[in-house]
Amino acid sequence: MTANAQPEVYEEAARDRLAFWEKMARRLEWAQQWDTVLEWELPYAKWFVGGKLNASVNCVDRHVAAGRGDKVAFHWIGDGERDRRDVTYADLHRQVCQAANALLDLGVQAGDQIAIYMPMIPETVVAMLACARIGAPHTVVFCGFSAEALRSRILDCGCRVVITVDGQFRRGSSAPVKPIVDDALTACPDVRRVLVVRRTGNDVAWTAGRDRWWHEVVDEQSVQHEAQAFDAEHPLYIMYTSGTTAKPKGILHTTGGYLTHVSATHHYVFDLKPETDVYWCAADIAWVTGHSYIVYGPLANGATSILYEGTPHPGDKDRWWKLIEHHKVTILYTAPTTIRTLMKWGAEELEPYDLSSLRILGSVGEPINPEAWIWYHTHVGGSRAPVVDTWWQTETGGIMITPLPGISEAKPGAAMQSFPGVSADVVDNEGKPVPNGSGGFLVLTEPWPGMLRGIWGDDQQYRDTYWSRFKGAYFAGDGAKKDEDGDLWLLGRVDDVMNVSGHRISTTEIEHALVGHPSVAEAAVVGASDATTGQAIVAFVTVRSHVADEVANGERFAEELRNHVAAVIGPIAKPRQVIITPELPKTRSGKIMRRLLRDIADGRELGDVTTLLDATVTDLIRERMADRAEEREG
């Protein structure tokens, strides 16, 4: 079978970038054609201006209308063995219509923001598409985030409705979810309605007048809903992500350009053949990878996907391989941290299984080390399936730098080149493109359809964060190099953002959480290298004078602080290590020298220490770290 992408696609896009994107936009169903492809007033872009479409119709109705209603959209595999459900496009259509009607009944109008706090179940997809269908932008919050994290997102976004579950399953046991929502809502006076999907069946507290069961409100609705088309630039969703400040930023995505970008990249990068492929993106729906490559991209393309609630864990090392064999998965898309975990468990776990259905392997979220790339290609891909290392961000909406299967050369560890119609470059400190063989900062020099349309409610931060470092270009926050052939290699963040297991976590946000503890005076957080998770969070903390030495130096106190961070932000932000120290290394002007802390955390020789105010501090911290290591071994 011929690949979706032919080499000419690069030339075609280079010849006329906008015409290429128009062609991609025509893969969708529009209720009204656009007048202008792009209006670009740096730093704000409008794509397909004057065009109207409905994202939910594009993801669902048009496939049903084309006679593909019986095609499976999702093979859902829940946490436990017993939980399995196939959802066809016709099922999805009925459920999305019902949910849309229910939201309208609850008083939701186009332009109202809705928070979705749900695990990996089909209703989460239904909820998102129902919001999109009626023009209510959703903000999906990862179900592992704390009440405080959920509350700050609801408030920042101005949500008036929350959709959630009673509880969720994780590795066979249930955990409450609704109580976290109740806690968050104690200080969200504008939330009028909470719609609750019954997942675990455990008892939950109920606020009369505010809380409604999904099955009571949704199931009785009509399975028909006439969808209205919205402007191409109508907000589709807001996704919060960590930056260099303490407060996560709400990244705004709109409808027409975004859907064009995610569906086109999904088609070419994964060489998707909707009739025969079984596609599995193993991310959580709550992250941008899930939005773009579980929900909007694959559904717009009419794909059949796996929707899997679990994550790989040591008690069930061959679960993934069983699933791939059973469903004859053809395309797998996951993060390097998962690949390294599976690699640690060994190829013998997958040897008993027939993985020959796999034909494309994707990687995303962090730089993939050549060793993991080669293991993935050799053992999972049977040395046959190409690996596509895809670079992009919450802000870019969709894939930006990637090889294309069948036509690109592959180099283990390289993301290779810009997707057709995308312009990435590597520049030096002055913003000048570096020659081949050199490194620098990754920038995007032309607007692209899936680009963010700003930070929710903060124009200045949008300009400052992305558009002020280099004139006329988008600054991604990543380091990169061009090799001798001009191919791109991603080198990780150049700012105070860590990447832990492919999750973006801000050092500042964790420092903020730590100093919120009554016993903490100062905190400095760094990302240390970690063989499995890429980076790991290490915090250095000084305590307030009222805290006795015995307390501060005890292992229990460090543990309390780790748990404190997990409670404030969520378990994914829990530091691997908290080191209590009498002082933090500072410059004479009082700036904490994080660079030295990174060296210490990685056990490296210290770099330049000439600006350090008190050189004994670093020795002290090193001793502390050594003591802790000994205690743990002892």
Residues near ligand WT7, by CB under 6 A:
241, 288-289, 364-367, 389-394, 415, 476-478, 490, 493, 499, 504
Comparison of 113 and 394: residue with beta carbon closer to ligand WT7: 394
Comparison of 122 and 367: residue with beta carbon closer to ligand WT7: 367
Comparison of 343 and 593: residue with beta carbon closer to ligand WT7: 343
Comparison of 341 and 393: residue with beta carbon closer to ligand WT7: 393
CB-based contacts of 386: which residues, under 8 Å, 6+ apart? Answer: 360, 361, 377, 403, 405, 406, 410
Shortest CB 499 distance to ligand WT7, Å: 6
Share in percent of the chain as helix, strand, coil (round to 5): 35, 25, 40
Helix (H) or strand (E) holding 206: none
Helix-helix angle 616-633:555-568, to 10 degrees: 90
Shortest CB 583 distance to ligand WT7, Å: 32
Comparison of 100 and 400: residue with beta carbon closer to ligand WT7: 400
In contact, 252 and 397? CB cutoff 8 Å: no
Shortest CB 497 distance to ligand WT7, Å: 7
Q: Which of 574, 549, 551 lies closest to 564 in space, CA to CA?
A: 574
Comparison of 392 and 466: residue with beta carbon closer to ligand WT7: 392
Shortest CB 479 distance to ligand WT7, Å: 9
Shortest CB 293 distance to ligand WT7, Å: 9
Shortest CB 288 distance to ligand WT7, Å: 5
**Distance from the first to the final alpha carbon of the chain:** 60
Tokens of 612: 């350090």
Beta bridge partners of 362: 333, 388
Q: Which of 199, 203, 201, 195 lies closest to 85 in space, CA to CA?
A: 199
d(CA 508, CA 498): 10
d(CA 608, CA 84): 57
> Among positive and negative, which fits the CA dihedral 530, 532, 534, 538?
negative
Tokens of 615: 């050189």
| C-alpha dihedral (598, 600, 602, 604), degrees to nearest 10 | 110
Helical H segments across 366-481, by residue range: 370-375, 459-467
SS3 4: coil
Tokens of 103: 């939201």
Comparison of 47 and 466: residue with beta carbon closer to ligand WT7: 466
Comparison of 56 and 396: residue with beta carbon closer to ligand WT7: 396
Q: Which of 508, 505, 437, 440 lies closest to 475 in space, CA to CA?
A: 440
SS3 69: coil
Comparison of 135 and 386: residue with beta carbon closer to ligand WT7: 386
In contact, 296 and 263? CB cutoff 8 Å: yes
Neighbours of 72 (CB within 10 A): 18
Comparison of 94 and 493: residue with beta carbon closer to ligand WT7: 493
